[in-house]
Amino acid sequence: MIDRSTAIVSLLTGMLVFVVLNMSYGQLGGNYWNLNYGTKAQLLNGAVIGGVEDNSAIFYNPAAIGTDTVGGGLSLSLFSPSYSIINTNSNQLNDLRITDFDLLPNMAVLDFPFLKNTKLKSSLGLFSRRSFDLNFASQFDIAYTPSQDFTGTTNYRNKIDEDWIGFGLSYEITDKFQIGITQGLTIRSQTQSTFINGRATNYSPSLNNQLQYNSFNEFRTRHPSINTKLGMLWHRKNYSIGLTVTTPSYISILDGGSYQLIEPQFLDGVFVDVFEETKDDLSSDFKKPWSFGIGGFYTFYKQDKLYFSVERFNKIAPYPLLSNPDSEIKFRLLDASTVVTNVALGYENKMSETFTLLCGLRTDFNSNVRYELPEAGDRDLFNFSWNIFHITAGGLFSIGSFKFSAGLGYAYSRSDEEVFNPFQTVFESFQISDFELATSTSTYNSLTVFFNYSLLFERFTSKP
């Protein structure tokens, strides 16, 4: 039987989910921990390397596969609506305010026995990061000297889809020590386009002229690749420690890409020609770094748990995401990332047999890095740069073999640095290499609604 207080909490949480159904949380491209999955891991903010106790273990630490099920189980994450607000407070984008509605990732995981070995457990999972689509148009008016300015409009779109399909195994060496491995296939696609239509004006007495500037840059990539995660889990009655190692992506399968460029050409600040180039059927690349994680939890007061996780992501030197050696300008689209270490803390309080309170804090540091383009035909990605801090809170509800969780997440960032700059090539065309773009403090806020559920089984086959 469900006690009255738990029933009231369940009802209020359900009402909350429907009331804020239109709230969403936009994700940015330069962050590693911006997605979490599972009935517990989502609300613990990913602080689960030391033991997750739901089916998302295949994603976080394969050594923990099967720790929450006797014979197997099925977990599903529903579409979690989210809403984000970015206040750029930047003269580059005319103090643009960007709002975005999106749906958080989906998850479907099945845990099941393997070869009728009680010490060996397996898991098959699908994790989906869908419909990240940041799209906006903005007017700008940039005065770079008292007698010169640049006015116009910019249109920007960045859309990223990512699916991860994995198969994992865990083996119980002793009743307190387990190891595991996950083999995953990641299918990542991205489309980014930037259109700038502007006019540079010089009002100096010796030179009074106007120059039009129209450019369009678009690229598309699709990159399926394989990666491997190794895990270890040592657990005692009141605490546990987990370790993970994740390899970079390797063995690209059926990758592809294309791009289109329309850019004005200038010589000594004077317009010469318009360069146009389109290329399809290219190969593409997308590199993920080595990462190393450690985490654990400690139980106190018999029903409370404190979780922690730390994960380090190595840097990736600039490499061609997309290239065309036959291009007239030797086109290359480059990407790179810096070293990032993220930390997460989670708290669990089992208030009754049917209701558990969960909350979490974590960092979500930006991995984008600035670097000099080595060759004339090189291009860089236009990504937003944020160091984001997340907080989550909600509840896990258990009714027999059925579990579901619901809650809210909030993310915040504040930056005094340049967070987005698509205009550098424009200024270089007009030989304005020393111009500093003024950027006041910019802010990022988002609100997320979480909801997912799992169904656990004692056995998949009938007893003999």
**What local confidence, expressed as pLDDT, does residue 428 receive?**
62
* Region 384-410 average pLDDT: 87
pLDDT above 50: residue 8:
no
Provide the whole-model pTM: 0.83
| CB contact at 8 A, 184 and 229 | yes
pLDDT, tens digit, 9 for 90 and up, residues 67-117:
765 456 788 777 667 677 777 666 666 677 777 777 766 788 888 888 777
Helix (H, G, I), strand (E, B) or coil at 377: coil
Rounded mean pLDDT, 430-435: 52
pLDDT at 432 > cutoff 60: no
Overall average pLDDT of the 46-73 stretch: 82
Residue 341 has pLDDT above 90, yes or no: yes
Residue 462 lies in a domain: no
Would you say residue 379 lies in a domain?
yes
Quote the mean pLDDT of the chain: 80
Name the more confident of 370 and 246: 246
Q: Look at residue 22 in the predicted model and tell me its pLDDT.
A: 29
For the stretch 226-260, pLDDT in tens is 999 999 999 888 899 999 999 999 988 889 999 99
Question: What is the three-state SS of 121-148?
Answer: EEEEEEEEEEEEEEEEEEEEEEEEECCE
Q: Identify whether 89 is part of a domain.
A: yes
- Does 332 fall in a domain? yes
Q: What's residue 13's pLDDT?
A: 33
Give me the amino acid identity at 188.
Answer: R
pLDDT of residue 339: 95
Q: What is the CATH number of the domain that holds 309?
A: 2.40.160.60
Tell whether 463 is covered by a domain: no
Could you give the number of structural domains in the chain?
Answer: 1
> pLDDT confidence of 154, banded at 50, 70, 90?
confident
Coil, helix or strand at residue 91: helix
Asked if residue 240 is part of any domain, the answer here is: yes
Condensed to tens digits (0 to 9), the pLDDT of residues 272-314 reads 788 899 999 999 999 999 999 999 999 988 789 999 999 999 9
How do residues 171-184 score in pLDDT, each as one tens digit? Answer: 999 989 999 999 99
Which regions of 79-206 does DSSP assign to beta strands (E)? 81-87, 97-103, 106-114, 117-145, 148-174, 177-204
Q: Which of 82-96, 186-200, 406-420 has the lowest mean pLDDT?
A: 82-96
Cα dist from 378 to 292, 325, 371, 375, whole Å: 31, 11, 12, 6
Given a cut of 50, whether residue 461 has pLDDT beyond it is no
413 part of a folded domain: yes
Query: Which residues form the domain of 65?
Result: 4-457
Residue 464 lies inside a defined structural domain of this protein: no
